[in-house]
Amino acid sequence: MKTTPEILMVDDNPADIDLTSEVLAQSEQHFHVNAVNDGAEAISFLRHQGKYTHAPVPDLVVLDLNLPRKDGCEVLQHIKADRALAKVPVVIFTTSQASSDIARSYRLGANCYLRKPGNLPEFVAAVQSMAEFWLGYASLPQKERR
């Protein structure tokens, strides 16, 4: 039996987490969205530290750039420097359109850079196609056993 894909969404804006979860809940495939609000929490989650001892290993990380405590690039750097975590695809999902942010994200090993669209139809389309591609069409590496 296929297991439900685990998504880790790192975003300090609860409205974006809600909207993304809503969109994913509407899709045919089932996803489990785990949300954390800052970079430090994200790292604890990924390392199964503190209250995240029993957290799942995500199949996909959806990462905002502008985050409190540790920003998105630091989280990205951390993920890509960790042998076990490095193979988890990371989608940067942010409002920034700055070419410097885009270049830096890819340089640090981001697997995709997606801009948060400003209106609902486009937002829905972006989130749906992201989930469809990364958790549907793309072949992902086998997860480490915990």
Q: Which residues bind other proteins (CB under 8 A)?
A: 13, 15, 19, 22, 95, 116, 118-121, 123
- CB nearer to other proteins: pick between 22 and 144: 22
CB of 12 to other proteins, least distance (A): 11
**Which CB, 77 or 95, lies closer to other proteins?**
95
Give me the least distance between CB of 67 and other proteins, in Å please: 14
> Distance (Å, rounded) from C-alpha 33 to C-alpha 139?
20
CB of 95 to other proteins, least distance (A): 6
Shortest Å, Cβ 75 to other proteins:
20
86 or 125, CB closer to other proteins?
125
According to DSSP, the residues that pair with 114 across neighbouring strands are 93
Nearer residue to other proteins within complex by CB, 53 or 97: 97
